[in-house]
């Protein structure tokens, strides 16, 4: 348990299409919180897939991956850590499962149109998927289920980064 004067941890879960800005937002928020002296842990889809390379892209494999991450986030939260998780996490059911494991779970929908994400395509993934080199790519041949009731929606297509960061920081201020 956290010390009596220490605020409990929480999980800030960023979900959205590839290229929507999840990692950029998560990195910026983590830096701000770290500069404030907070205990922060970043969990990122690309990084964890590198550690767990046999994680597949079927619906079942994606759900299992998000369940593992949700469990990991809940354990860190239990120990007073602020967890910033950035995962496409395309299915509502898997996000609900992760939420159910955590005591203080804040879902952030990082909203951007598929067209804008394709335009950004910083990793070249949309091009590879459209060329048939990647199968089950979220947003193209695999669905992304938008959150029904996220605590925060940031529109990275129409709002500058600093506005999105401010929106998230304003929401989480009571949790700090």
Is 86 among the residues known to form the active site?
Answer: no
Give every CB contact of residue 50 below 8 A, 6+ residues apart in sequence: none
Q: What is the CA radius of gyration of the chain?
A: 16
18, 74, 89, 112: the catalytic one is: 89
Torsion, Cα 46 48 52 58, to 10 degrees, reads: -60
Q: Helix or strand or coil: residue 14?
A: strand
The residues with which 107 forms a beta bridge, in sequence order, are 13
Q: Which residues are catalytic?
A: 89
């Amino acid at each position: 348990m956290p010390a009596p004067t220490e605020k409990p941890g929480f999980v800030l879960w960023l979900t959205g299409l590839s290229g929507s800005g999840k990692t950029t937002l998560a990195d910026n928020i983590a830096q701000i919180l770290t500069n404030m002296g907070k205990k922060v842990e970043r969990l990122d889809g690309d990084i964890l897939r590198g550690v767990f390379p046999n994680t597949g892209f079927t619906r079942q494999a994606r759900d299992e991956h998000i369940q593992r991450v949700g469990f990991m986030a809940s354990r860190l939260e239990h120990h007073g850590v602020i967890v910033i998780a950035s995962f496409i996490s395309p299915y509502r059911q898997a996000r609900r499962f992760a939420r159910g494991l955590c005591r203080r779970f804040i879902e952030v929908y990082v909203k951007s149109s598929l067209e804008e994400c394709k335009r950004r395509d910083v990793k070249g993934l949309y091009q590879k998927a459209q060329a048939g080199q990647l199968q089950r790519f979220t947003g193209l041949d695999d669905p992304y289920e938008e959150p029904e009731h996220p605590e925060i929606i940031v529109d990275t297509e129409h709002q500058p980064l600093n506005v999105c960061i401010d929106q998230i920081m304003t929401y989480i201020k009571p949790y700090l």
